[in-house]
Amino acid sequence: MGHDHGHGHGHGHGHGHGAAADGRRLTVALGITALVLVSGAVGAAITGSLSLLADLGHQVTDVAALVMAVVAARLAQRPPSARRTFGLGRSEVLGAAVNALALLAVTVWVAVEAVERLLADAPPEVPGVALLIFGAVGLVGNLISLAVLSGGSGSLNVRGAALHVLGDALGSVAVMVAAGVLLLTGWPYADVVASLVIVAILVPRTVGLLSTTAHVLLEGAPPGVDVEEVRAALLAVPGVREVHDLHVWVISDRTPAASAHLVVDDGTTSHCEGRADDGSVLDRAAAALREEFGLDHSTLQIETPEHADHEEHCPSPPVRVAVNDPVTPRQS
């Protein structure tokens, strides 16, 4: 997935371009999905099919998801302001989280309805030919939307929207299989079973997206970045004695950031001739973060041992294994 870290020329500029292209792709996918939604609504009304209804439920959340994703991609292009110094990049992550919650709610509702139909004496009769036609219309629309979205930047926002559309495409396949079984065998439970298959496909994907967005919103470390390795890299910079208050997090899934206090040797920050050294320690530390971990956005504070002794430190987090949510690939 092509992530734009904007090396060498304005990171925000690169991010704006990625979000703008995403916005266009999402808008096209939104138009197609809205048409599929209308056909699905007609189909569910005519056939009374639960698998079409399950698919329709996903299409409704898809349209809502794509609307949110389009708005989020537009907001993410806005430059930072005095009130929002990081800009609105995180609106994409919020959009993805809301989408995942909506999809989870729909899948639970369909599962409950399916169980009720399975326990009923006789499930409602569903016409197989009509089911096949509406399933095919849905599948074609979803595949076009997926093709449009797959060319995007791979941001969380686009991934969240594509997940919805993928769920729909799989749903349309399940609807068509149910129609085939109905036409060939007349087995009355085919439609209900298909709706449960749709639920089973979607739940793990939705939970995965929720955990990824939660990790970003809870200021988790970027995937593939071990905070203890970052600490070791800073300690390896000549002149650095100690590292404390080290934080590594992601502002949005495109923008990792870091901050730390570096305690340096007394000689390094002497008031007369030491200023050049002071700058070079900062430069070397920032370069290490940028080159080894792809952390372009770093805020480093230089301190003398005496200053560090009088400071109240935030407790360092315990050593832990890096979380591997697929959000940003580690930069080489």
Q: State the pLDDT at residue 137.
A: 92
Q: Give me 216's structure tokens.
A: 């970003």
Pairing of strands 297-303, 255-264: parallel
Instruction: Tell me what the mean pLDDT of segment 48-55 comes to.
Output: 79
pTM for this prediction: 0.66
Answer for the pair 254, 328: CB distance below 8 angstroms, yes or no.
yes
* Position 17 confidence tier, pLDDT thresholds 50, 70, 90: low
Percent of the chain residues topping a pLDDT of 70: 80
* Position 231 confidence tier, pLDDT thresholds 50, 70, 90: very high
Q: State the pLDDT at residue 309.
A: 64
Nearest in space to 321 (alpha carbons), one of 224, 218, 250: 224
Top pLDDT among 12 and 20 is at 20
* Position 12 confidence tier, pLDDT thresholds 50, 70, 90: very low
**C-alpha distances out from residue 246 to 37, 38, 223, Å:** 48, 52, 16
Instruction: Tell me what the mean pLDDT of segment 79-91 comes to.
Output: 75
Q: 56-65: per-residue pLDDT in tens?
A: 777 777 787 7
Q: 257-270: per-residue pLDDT in tens?
A: 888 999 988 665 44
Q: Give me 30's structure tokens.
A: 């939104």
Between 69-73, 228-232, 294-298, 300-304, the lowest mean confidence (pLDDT) is in 69-73
Average pLDDT of the chain is: 78
Q: 242-258: per-residue pLDDT in tens?
A: 898 899 888 765 678 88
Between 99-108, 182-191, 225-234, 247-256, the lowest mean confidence (pLDDT) is in 247-256
Residue 274 has pLDDT above 80, yes or no: no
Widest Cα–Cα separation across the chain: 91
* Position 140 confidence tier, pLDDT thresholds 50, 70, 90: very high
Residue 237 has pLDDT above 70, yes or no: yes
Q: Give me 160's structure tokens.
A: 């969240």
Give all strands of the β-sheet with 297-303 in edge-to-edge order: 240-252, 255-264, 297-303
Residue 39 has pLDDT above 90, yes or no: no
Residue 136 has pLDDT above 90, yes or no: yes
Between 123-132, 154-163, 176-185, 232-241, the lowest mean confidence (pLDDT) is in 154-163
Residue 239 has pLDDT above 60, yes or no: yes
Please tell me the distance from the alpha carbon of residue 330 to that of residue 320, in angstroms, as a whole number.
18
